[in-house]
A and B are shown apart, each in its own frame.
Chain A
Amino acid sequence: MAPAGLAVSAVLLLVVAPLVLSPFRLDLLAKYLCYAIVAVGIALAWGRGGMLTLGQGVFFGLGGYAMGMHLKLAEAGPGKLPDFMSWSGVESLPLLWKPFANPVFTLVMVVLLPVVVAVLLGSLVFRQRVRGAYFAVLSQALAAAFVILLVGQQGLTGGTNGLTNIQHFFGLDLYDDADRRLLYLIVALVLGLAYLGVRQLAASRYGQLLVAIRDGEDRVRFLGYDPALVKTVAFAVSAALAGVAGALFVPVVGLLTPANLGVVASLELLIGVAIGGRYSLAGAVGGALLFNYAKTVFSEELPDSWLYVQGALFVVVMVWAPRGIAGLAGQLRDRWARRGPLRPVSYPAGADRPQEVST
């Protein structure tokens, strides 16, 4: 986004929203912003890198559970067990939980855990040249397996209930409106940093290479580059962003359950990006906000039938604007170009090639 557009968005989110929104609506916006952070990562991996990742929920969950474990331990106090462990018959703190009492360790893990999983998965899968639909199915299976694992280990993870009743976040009182506003600002700032960072990355030589691999992986390989490495880096960055978003989601919403990171949740993360426009970072952010806001509004107005409306919205966007709302501009230009006098149609770097991901 141009500096002017960025400035307007920053003013809207950092100044206008906290002033005009009620505490309840500001909380919801904070939640949408968490999803928008994930969307920035998806726009990089999917929009630029052509990796249709249906398992972002896994990374979201790894970051979220790391943070949730720390907050639950802080809540329980030294030497005490988190509430759900006593319901589940766990008598002493599991080994896995112990290091998460340390806030620095937790913050490192929020980023490191998703990155390690993404690098492992990426280096295995991309080296084997698994692409397109096969990669998508694999990432989705990962999300399904992750949920089963979490639900099955009730004493360790809280099972289906997840980690609930989180009241404090590094000294912030989450029952207090002023502190929650501060939390909102933190989320908005993290989103801003994520956006700027990924934009920089996408504009760099690396970013060009990523797009080149998306549009012709074999050609880039013949030029002497290692596509697996380039793709793994993009995948790991998107995983790190999802992890950070998950970690912020926990204090914002006050709980984290396997339902937040399963197959459906992972798909919803992707749908927001698809609606907004995956080739544009700003479009992805806008799409994530719009999609989640629409979900809230529809379910409030039409509690009986909101799912149909939401589904119809998605279908309409995908049929009439396959490149998302931000891609509408390019679509209109193409149409105009076709109607106008004969002139070459040029595709700007990294954007709006009408062809889909190569397989």
Chain B
Amino acid sequence: MSLHQRARILLSLLMVSSVVVSMSACVDDPDSGRADGDTIKVGVLHSLSGTMAISEVTVRDSELLAIEQVNAAGGVLGKKLEPVVEDGASDWPTFAEKAQKLISEDRVATTFGGWTSASRKAMLPVFERNKQLLWYPVQYEGLESSPYIFYTGATTNQQIVPALDYLKEKGKKTIFLVGSDYVFPRTANKIIKAYAGANGMRVIGEEYTPLGNTEYSTIVNKLGQAKPDIVFNTLNGDSNVAFFKQLRSAGFTADTMPTVSVSVAEEEVAGIGPANVAGHLVAWNYYQTTPGATNDAFVTAYRAKYGADKVTSDPMEAGYNAVKLWAAAANKAGSVEVDAVKKAAAGISLDLPEGKVTIDGENQHVYKTARIGVIQPDGQIKEVWNSGQPIKPDPYLKSYPWAAGLA
């Protein structure tokens, strides 16, 4: 064997052994408790890179703000919270890997994270296997209730169903469904079709485009031909920018082709350009303009920390709420142990930016007030209707006769 071949083997061996040896250096200490020491570690797991980063970074920011505020108010069990931030990288298996890392290496007391349903579905088995808690802050498609997840965003009966109630009240008869091709729009549209069938409304079109799609002229054409009373838009991310721009350049306005969107908030409106979406409807549970001293304080604190030009949106507020709710539950329980926190969380009620938020102990979702808003030319959203009181979460739509057979 030549010297050169030997050197090559040595170099290859060096690569293998350096990985094994340096990995073994990251040994965790299984005996250390999750609340030992002077601080309590909590995980913050959102996409800081990739397509979802633009949305998820804002949620991370509002969660860090909430952690800072909890610390300023004395922390949890008299200890300061120490956030451990990880990047889910818009990649679902990475979310699972980082969740496991937060649990077994950092030994965090709880984790706040996720945005897309796919990232939640990837993390769910990790939290269930380790019997640890995840707080998930985004509205989603329902039909889920993991004992190890708290859902602080809306489920379908707090966002989509009230939006349909509103449309029915306004006399809309024909609906055209436009959505990105993944689990949330597909499930949402299944629910819309069931609702329409039972309420004298008609779905006259259903179109899906891949996530990240930016070519909407065909769909805009179809809309022009079908002339629906309302377009129900479940597009996600950048696709909204293209959709609304092309809708407008085809000559349609909010009067001639009204739409209602469930994934377009203040942050997205800024990206689309307020002029392109002004007058269109959105359905959420919180707007930056939601009245109340708690929200004023939240908006002021957020802008003071991150810049006066920043907007606040529903998912950001739900992430902020998650931190506050967990801290309150842990303080009430006198412990950060999962079972104690879960028990204490049931029925906890806090005054948060969107109003009074109460945790439903049974399905670990929260009571939320549904709000329909109209996008304003200045990029803010003006509320035009709300459900009057917080709606009890019903992820499986058990209390709606027309929804029988959906789950």
CB pair B16 A9 closer than 8 Å: yes
Least CB distance, B149 to chain A, in whole angstroms? 13
> Quick one: given A22-B28, A300-B86, are A286 and B16 in contact (CB under 8 Å)?
yes
CB pair B4 A333 closer than 8 Å: yes
Residue among B16, B87, B126 facing the most chain A CB atoms (10 A cut-off)? B16
CB pair B182 A154 closer than 8 Å: yes
Binds B, one of A26-34, A94-102, A212-220: A26-34
A16 close to chain B: CB less than 8 A = yes
Residues of chain A with a CB closer than 8 A to B125's CB: 164-167, 254-255
Residues A49-105 near B (CB distance < 8 A) = 84, 86-89
**Interface 1/0s, chain A 318-345, versus B by CB < 8 A?**
0000000111111011000000000000
CB pair A282 B9 closer than 8 Å: yes
Least CB distance, B112 to chain A, in whole angstroms? 14
Residues of chain A with a CB closer than 8 A to B122's CB: 161, 164, 255, 257
CB pair B2 A348 closer than 8 Å: yes
CB pair A17 B85 closer than 8 Å: no
Residues of chain A with a CB closer than 8 A to B23's CB: 17, 21, 25, 28-29, 293
Least CB distance, B316 to chain A, in whole angstroms? 18
B211 close to chain A: CB less than 8 A = yes
CB pair A259 B92 closer than 8 Å: yes
Residues B1-44 near A (CB distance < 8 A) = 1-20, 22-24, 26-28
B227 close to chain A: CB less than 8 A = no
B118 close to chain A: CB less than 8 A = yes
Least CB distance, B7 to chain A, in whole angstroms? 3
B143 close to chain A: CB less than 8 A = yes
Residues of chain A with a CB closer than 8 A to B96's CB: 253-255
Least CB distance, A168 to chain B, in whole angstroms? 12
Docked pose: A285 CA to B19 CA in angstroms? 12
Residues of chain A with a CB closer than 8 A to B87's CB: 299, 303-304, 306
Total A-B Cβ pairs within 8 A = 205
Chain B residue nearest to A9 (CB atoms) is B16
CB pair A329 B11 closer than 8 Å: yes
Least CB distance, B18 to chain A, in whole angstroms? 7
A151 close to chain B: CB less than 8 A = yes
Residues A146-183 near B (CB distance < 8 A) = 148, 151-152, 154, 159-162, 164-167, 175
Main secondary structure of the interface of B (DSSP, over half): helix
Residues of chain A with a CB closer than 8 A to B3's CB: 333
CB pair B16 A283 closer than 8 Å: no
Binds A, one of B99-107, B256-264, B297-305, B326-334: B99-107
Residues of chain A with a CB closer than 8 A to B86's CB: 299-300, 303
B289 close to chain A: CB less than 8 A = no
B187 close to chain A: CB less than 8 A = yes
Least CB distance, B87 to chain A, in whole angstroms? 4
> Quick one: given A24-B101, A165-B124, A175-B129, are A289 and B24 in contact (CB under 8 Å)?
no
Docked pose: A151 CA to B182 CA in angstroms? 7
Least CB distance, B398 to chain A, in whole angstroms? 16
Residues of chain A with a CB closer than 8 A to B5's CB: 2, 329, 348
Which of B4, B19, B98 is the one whose CB lies under 8 Å from A293? B19
Residues of chain B with a CB closer than 8 A to A84's CB: 183
CB pair A22 B15 closer than 8 Å: no
Which of A32, A259, A329 is the one whose CB lies under 8 Å from B8? A329
CB pair B121 A303 closer than 8 Å: no
Least CB distance, A60 to chain B, in whole angstroms? 13
Least CB distance, B382 to chain A, in whole angstroms? 33
CB pair A9 B13 closer than 8 Å: yes
CB pair A328 B28 closer than 8 Å: no
Least CB distance, A86 to chain B, in whole angstroms? 8
A1 close to chain B: CB less than 8 A = yes
Residue among B3, B19, B26 facing the most chain A CB atoms (10 A cut-off)? B19
CB pair B12 A282 closer than 8 Å: yes
CB pair B182 A13 closer than 8 Å: no
B363 close to chain A: CB less than 8 A = no
CB pair A22 B26 closer than 8 Å: yes
Chain B, interface residues (CB within 8 Å), range: 35 or more
Docked pose: A63 CA to B363 CA in angstroms? 37
Residues of chain B with a CB closer than 8 A to A325's CB: 11-12, 15
Residues of chain A with a CB closer than 8 A to B121's CB: 161, 164-165
> Quick one: given A25-B23, A290-B18, are A152 and B7 in contact (CB under 8 Å)?
no
Residues of chain B with a CB closer than 8 A to A276's CB: 12, 15
Least CB distance, A356 to chain B, in whole angstroms? 20
Least CB distance, A84 to chain B, in whole angstroms? 8
Which of B6, B12, B101 is the one whose CB lies under 8 Å from A280? B12
Least CB distance, A85 to chain B, in whole angstroms? 12
CB pair A162 B118 closer than 8 Å: yes
Which of A5, A20, A165 is the one whose CB lies under 8 Å from B12? A5
> Quick one: given A27-B100, A151-B211, A164-B125, are A285 and B26 in contact (CB under 8 Å)?
no
CB pair B19 A21 closer than 8 Å: no
A307 close to chain B: CB less than 8 A = yes
Which of A2, A86, A332, A348 is the one whose CB lies under 8 Å from B9? A2
B89 close to chain A: CB less than 8 A = yes
Which of A12, A17, A21, A87 is the one whose CB lies under 8 Å from B183? A87
Chain B residue nearest to A147 (CB atoms) is B210
A132 close to chain B: CB less than 8 A = no
Docked pose: A88 CA to B143 CA in angstroms? 11
> Quick one: given A165-B124, A307-B49, are A159 and B85 in contact (CB under 8 Å)?
no
CB pair A283 B105 closer than 8 Å: no
CB pair B186 A89 closer than 8 Å: yes
A8 close to chain B: CB less than 8 A = yes
A243 close to chain B: CB less than 8 A = no
B117 close to chain A: CB less than 8 A = yes
Docked pose: A329 CA to B6 CA in angstroms? 9
Docked pose: A25 CA to B27 CA in angstroms? 8
A residues sitting closer than 8 Å to B (CB atoms) are 1-2, 5, 8-9, 12-13, 16-17, 20-25, 27-29, 31-32, 84, 86-89, 148, 151-152, 154, 159-162, 164-167, 175, 253-257, 259-260, 276-277, 280, 282-283, 285-287, 289-290, 293, 296-297, 299-300, 303-304, 306-307, 325-330, 332-333, 348
B residues sitting closer than 8 Å to A (CB atoms) are 1-20, 22-24, 26-28, 48-49, 85-87, 89, 91-94, 96-98, 100-101, 104-105, 116-118, 121-122, 124-126, 129, 141, 143, 181-183, 186-187, 190, 210-211, 407
Besides the contacts A151-B181, A151-B210, A332-B7, what 14 more A-B pairs have beta carbons closer than 8 Å?
Answer: A2-B1, A2-B9, A5-B12, A17-B24, A88-B183, A154-B181, A154-B183, A159-B183, A161-B117, A162-B92, A164-B121, A289-B15, A293-B19, A329-B11
Pick 11 A–B contacts, CB within 8 A, sort by A: A2-B1, A29-B19, A255-B125, A280-B8, A282-B13, A300-B101, A306-B49, A326-B15, A330-B4, A332-B7, A348-B4
